[in-house]
Amino acid sequence: MISAVHSMTTDAGLGEISLAYDARPAAEVVREYLAETLRMIEQYDGFDVLAHVDYPLRYWPAAVPFDEGAFEEEFRAVLRALAHSGKALEINTKVPLGPRILRWWHGEGGEAVTFGSDAHEAAVLGRGFPEAVAMAEACGFRPGPTAWGAWVRGD
C-alpha cells in the first residue's frame, strides 16, 4: 500500500498544498509539509511505500530560487523515520525526485525504492522510467527480490 501527504492546513482550512503558497512563504510550506509527513510516518503504519516525499516542490513558486539543501535536515528526518520503519520510498517521475534526496535516503539507511509515473492517463504511463532507473542505480539501488517489485540497496 502507498501513502502520501497531499494536503495541509491553509488559511482557508485543510487544502491542497499548492494553495498554501498563496498565503505563506515557500520555505515554510515545504517545512510544514515535511513535518506533517514525519507525523504520518510516526503515527500511521498502514502503508509500505511513501510516495511524493517532494510533493510541494511541484508547486514551488517559479520566482523563488530553490535549493533542496536548505531543507536537508527536514528531509533527512523524514527519510530516517521512514528507513527505521522498514518502508520503501517511491521515485515518482512526474516531477523527478532529485538525486540528492535519493542519496540522503540511502545515507539514512533506506533499504528500498519503487517507481511511479503518477500517470493519470495511458499516454504518460511509464514516462521518465529509464532516467529514474539510472538515478536509482547511481545512488546504490538494484533490482531486488521483493514481492512488490522494489529495488533494494546494492551495497
3-class SS of residue 131 = helix
Q: How many CA atoms lie within 13 A of 66 on its CB side?
A: 15
DSSP-derived letter for residue 16 is E
pLDDT tens figures, 128-148: 888 998 999 999 988 876 655
Beta bridge mates, 152: 112, 142
Grid coordinates of 55: 510533493
**Which residues form the domain of 75?**
2-153
Q: How many folded domains does the chain comprise?
A: 1
What does the buried/exposed string (b/e) look like for 103-133 if buried means 16 or more CB atoms within 10 Å of the residue's CB?
Answer: ebbbebebbbbbbbbbeeeeeeeeebeeebb
- Could you tell me the CATH number of the domain that includes residue 28? 3.20.20.140
pLDDT tens for the 155 residues of the chain, in order = 889 998 887 666 677 888 888 888 999 999 999 999 999 999 999 999 999 999 999 899 999 888 999 999 999 999 999 999 999 999 988 777 889 999 999 999 999 999 888 878 888 788 888 899 899 999 998 887 665 567 677 76
Cβ-based neighbours of 148, under 8 Å, separated by 6 or more: 48, 49, 114
